Amino acid sequence: MSDPKTPEQQHAVTTGTAGTAATHGHHAPVTIPFTEAELDDFHKSDKIGGGSVVALMAAIFSIGLVLYTVVALTVYGVDLLRAGFVALALIVALAAGAWGLLRPGGAGGGNRPVR
């Protein structure tokens, strides 16, 4: 059996603040040891770092794609290149159909039912 809780304790349990400083009135408020300027600098450097990671991932992916294409063309020849263009055209057509670009009115046709 669970022990009876006061309304404040029940609120802390239902809001997920149980066991935190929000449930205890005798603790001093938590202060962040950084100024607003330092926090803004952290956010800016985080954005720059995130952009760098994305750029590096894209570069690695592109290099891998080029190397894979060179190896595939070396092994399978021009037939693979033709098959690749056919597959790419099929993928583009399927994606355009899925996005609604092929129906009358194009994408963003509003709430009109598709006929």
For 108, the 3-state DSSP assignment is coil
87 and 72, same structural domain? no
Contact call for residues 18 and 5 (beta carbons, < 8 A): no
pLDDT at 17: 54
Domain count of the chain? 2
At 105, is the pLDDT very low, low, confident or very high (cuts 50, 70, 90)?
low
Range in 96-100, 101-105, 108-112 with the lowest mean pLDDT: 108-112
Of 14, 94, 104, nearest to 5 by C-alpha is: 14
d(CA 4, CA 29): 28
Instruction: Note the pLDDT tens digit of each residue in 24-59.
Output: 566 777 788 889 999 999 999 999 999 999 999 999
Residue 52 lies in a domain: yes
Please give the C-alpha separations between residue 68 and each of 33, 51, 61, 71, 87, in angstroms, as whole numbers. 50, 26, 10, 5, 16
Instruction: Note the pLDDT tens digit of each residue in 1-32.
Output: 455 566 666 655 565 555 555 555 667 777 88
Residue 20: both structure tokens together: 């935190």
71 and 48, same structural domain? yes
